[in-house]
Chain A
Amino acid sequence: MTADIAAILAIDGIATGAVYALVAIGTVLIFTVTRVIFIPFGDIAAFTALTLAALDARQLPGTVGLVVVLACMACLMEVVALSRVGEFRALPKAVLGYLVLPLIVVGIVWLTMRFNPPMPVRIVLALLLIMPISPLLDRIVFRPIADASVLLLLTVSVALHFALVGLGLLFFGPEGVRTEPLTSMGMEIAGVHVSGQTMLILIAALVFSGLLLLFFDFTLLGKALRATAFNRTGARLMGIRPARAGTIAYLLGSLMAGVSGVLIAPVNTIFYDSGFLLGLKAFVGAIVGGMTSYPGAALGAFGVGILESFASFQSSTLKDVIVFSLLIPILLWRSLASQHSEEEVEE
């Protein structure tokens, strides 16, 4: 391997790592606020890419159907749950939040598509369409068992991923997509060609992580989220509703995953089931940060990207084996590093 190849692999790895980093940050966000290890995050990224591809092709994306179905289910569950406890006054708000709002998003997309919108608008539309999915899934799947153990939530999360893969095939079909490049520019850095897309990925990752940081540090909502992550009971005593904090975490996380999907779509061909590996690799990154540290997760994700890049140069077929085998020593290190207390007793 010459220095040139190493440089190219490194740049490639950093770009992939940046995509993973966005998803990893979202994973950490959701884990800290809700204790759910949200495996389907990669699927959300893949769905965004598929949605964008459909919008590019002037078609109504399958996401529309998915959002409508999920919104109806979530709304129904919320209405039933509220009616049971006799909270009828909360019903209009529930219907508004879980049904009308997602439907308005769908309506906006449907209307805008009639005017052949330019690329940036299409990207915004794809992100808009993808954002309701995780909060709706949260309502349908996780809210009824919000107090269960992390392990049970993880099991449910893995099952949910398989359901989403099936739904993905149903709504998007088996064809892989690759969207138009966002930019055709490129530049030379120290004699190595760096494509505009790579630059864009890096910039986007930095911008969105930065925005999240600002949100956490300078808004009340962000602080409420951090409080919930730190101590759910304490936050509840301060008047922060964990369920609402969860919804916001899912919305923000989806935005991160969606952006990563938009960024990766022109570089890799995305299929309905591509999300699993994307999500899991991001997840390896998140674990480097102990599932709690954002910088740790981002660093870990970059590490995974670079490792994958070099591994695929050595053996393209075994790169996934290498990446996932690496998780075991990382987990060991994390486990030794964190003084975990006596495990929960379950009966």
Chain B
Amino acid sequence: MTLLQIRLIIAAAIACLVAAPFVLNPFSITLLNYIGIYALAAIGLALLTGVGGIVSFGQAAFVGVAAYSTAWATALNGYSPWLGLVLAVIVTCSVAAILGFVTLRLGGHFLSLSTVAWGLAIAFLFGNIDGLGQHNGISGVPPISIGRLALVESWQIYFLIWAIVVAILLLCYNLLDSRIGRAMRALRGGNTLVESLGINAFQIKLLTFVIAAFLGALSGWLYAHLGRFVSPGPFEAGMGIEYLMMAMVGGAGSILGGVVGAAIVTLLKNTVQDYLPLIAKGASGQLEIVAFSALFILFLQRARQGIVPFLAGFLPDLKQSRPQVADPLPLRDKPEPGTLLLKVHEAQRRFGGLVAVNNVSFEVKSGEILGLIGPNGAGKTTMFNLLTGALRTNSGEIGFAGRSITHDQQFHIARAGISRTFQHVKLRPRMTLLDNVLLGTYSRTRTGLFAGAFRLNQAEEASARYEALMQLERVGLGDKPFELAGNLPLGNQRVLEIARALAADPTLLVLDEPAAGLRRQEKLKLAELLRSLRADHLTILLVEHDMEFVMSLVDRIVVLDFGSKLCEGEPAAIRGDARVQEAYLGGVA
């Protein structure tokens, strides 16, 4: 499928949306209005849950905060609905920012549980605050006016609602295809991966959270002015799970899925309300929620993927054009070959009583390949984590390029010019090779949220894409940039990680067991690649198990054993060292 075909499909869809009010009956239009409103909240949740991996049960509360804000401003204080919109967005986003700031450091299910907690607390507040009409709600919310035209009829507000939905869809797609959006898509890969790319994971999570709340705010604002009445009911916990259902049924991770999910759930609900009374007289209300929950559970058991990704599987692949030649991204100043680059001084790390790294000191000089070796349990991985900031030292100093990085956070260290790969490959399997490598350019580019969503910084994006392609070609993966990373064999996945690390233009490349699990041919190719990188004056620190691989490649070796440095020197000297032989092979009896 080409880009033109996709544009045609979008144009046709918009034409259908414009034509709908002239064809459909008023009831269908009202239904479409609610679908649009729910879709906005569901899109927010798709971003948060599907893209960012943060399952939230509290979206309904944000919708409610916005609806109550605008109702308070317009119905109780007589301001214009547009002022209500401003207030709704400010209040909702502030609440989200505060809640997010407090809770987003929580891990996995604790975070989701906290969304249940504040979702409930906020919903209880609506019904218990005197100024907000308590359980009776606030009536008399005025309609939205554009100029002198008041949007009273449902077909009038229909255009406003769906214009907003379409605009939000386009902005979200732009955003996800930009620098910040790619960082959001990386969130599900875990904090260590995200931070290793120089991305402040917490900041991106908070941003995603506030964007989701912002979309909830738009939804709540429209909701208040469409129904002209707000009460606590529609913002309670039950609705929170309904939004989650919309996002997941549509296909969490897919923005369009939010709209499709909202449509399916709303229409299904409508149908259920029509037909259940025929089956079970007098019990339809309670059966409705049973039927719905049961369907949702069945869905989660059988088809977690969602509808849009399922259908998209049948479409022909999008034909994307290879990135064109563009201005190169700025390069870092590299130190002179042979100067001191990394200095580890008396680094110590304890886990309880176990001293995993015990006062280890070594240096890495610019332009060399240093191997860090040692038997199992020697403390190699811990040392690695100390260097990259994944763990903190208990004592000792680590200096990089003339500056102490001992207390720096992981993403700061990454931005300072240390790029890493992982022993257990951490790629985004559902992203293309090019997008994965583009993640590496994060710290070298500047495009922010708005510039990304409105496509204001296309020159930098073009440069980044070209840079990513260059790095893919440098490592020998340039022939299929739009392949999904998950489809690569392990050897190429490791190489792809190196390309991603290179895209950050690092001063020091640290590789965690790059040869683990590779076949002989793949190892030879990898060694070849690393030699060519050294020829380009890149400094490489290598943690490796495979002796043959290390000995033939590195300039110097540091040997760790039981957390302490055993010795260091050139490969030949290490090979002949009695202490090393004893550590690896056991002493001579």
Main secondary structure of the interface of A (DSSP, over half): helix
Contact A321 B241 (CB under 8 A): no
Chain B nearest CB from A330 CB (Å) reads: 9
Contact B190 A343 (CB under 8 A): yes
Within 92-106 of B, Cβ neighbours of A (below 8 Å) are at 99, 102-103, 105-106
B116 within 8 A of A: yes
- If A159-B241, A280-B116, A287-B113 touch, whether A320 touches B121 (CB-CB below 8 Å) is yes
B297 within 8 A of A: yes
- If A162-B289, A163-B290, A321-B124 touch, whether A344 touches B296 (CB-CB below 8 Å) is no
Pick from A166, A324, A332, A334: contact of B287, CB below 8 A: A166
Pick from A151, A327, A345: contact of B190, CB below 8 A: A345
Contact B128 A156 (CB under 8 A): no
Within 150-204 of A, Cβ neighbours of B (below 8 Å) are at 150-152, 154-156, 158-160, 162-163, 165-167, 169-170
- If A170-B290, A334-B110 touch, whether A159 touches B117 (CB-CB below 8 Å) is no
Question: With the chains together, A160 CA to B241 CA distance in Å?
Answer: 11
**What 0/1 readout, one digit per residue, does chain B (451-489) give for beta carbons within 8 Å of chain A?**
000000000000000000000000000000000001000
A-B contact count (CB 8 A): 134
Chain B nearest CB from A173 CB (Å) reads: 10
Chain A residue at smallest Cβ distance from B119: A324
Contact A324 B121 (CB under 8 A): yes
B-side contacts of A167, CB under 8 Å: 286, 290
Question: With the chains together, A340 CA to B125 CA distance in Å?
Answer: 33
B578 within 8 A of A: no
A-side contacts of B397, CB under 8 Å: none
Question: With the chains together, A284 CA to B287 CA distance in Å?
Answer: 30
Contact B107 A155 (CB under 8 A): no
A87 within 8 A of B: no
A235 within 8 A of B: no
- If A318-B124, A321-B125, A345-B188 touch, whether A152 touches B300 (CB-CB below 8 Å) is yes
B283 within 8 A of A: yes
Contact A159 B300 (CB under 8 A): yes
B-side contacts of A346, CB under 8 Å: 53, 188
Question: With the chains together, A317 CA to B245 CA distance in Å?
Answer: 30
B-side contacts of A162, CB under 8 Å: 238, 241, 289, 292-293
A205 within 8 A of B: no
Pick from A145, A150, A347: contact of B301, CB below 8 A: A145
- If A37-B109, A159-B241 touch, whether A170 touches B297 (CB-CB below 8 Å) is no
Pick from B116, B121, B191: contact of A158, CB below 8 A: B116
Chain B contacts to A: CB under 8 angstroms:
53, 55, 57, 99, 102-103, 105-110, 112-114, 116-118, 120-121, 124-125, 128, 188-192, 237-238, 241, 244-245, 248, 283, 285-290, 292-294, 296-297, 300-301, 304, 426, 429-430, 486
Chain A contacts to B: CB under 8 angstroms:
37, 141, 144-145, 150-152, 154-156, 158-160, 162-163, 165-167, 169-170, 276, 280, 283-284, 287, 317-318, 320-321, 324-325, 327-328, 331-332, 334-335, 340, 342-347
Nearest 4 Cβ contacts at the A-B interface: A163-B293, A166-B290, A327-B117, A169-B286
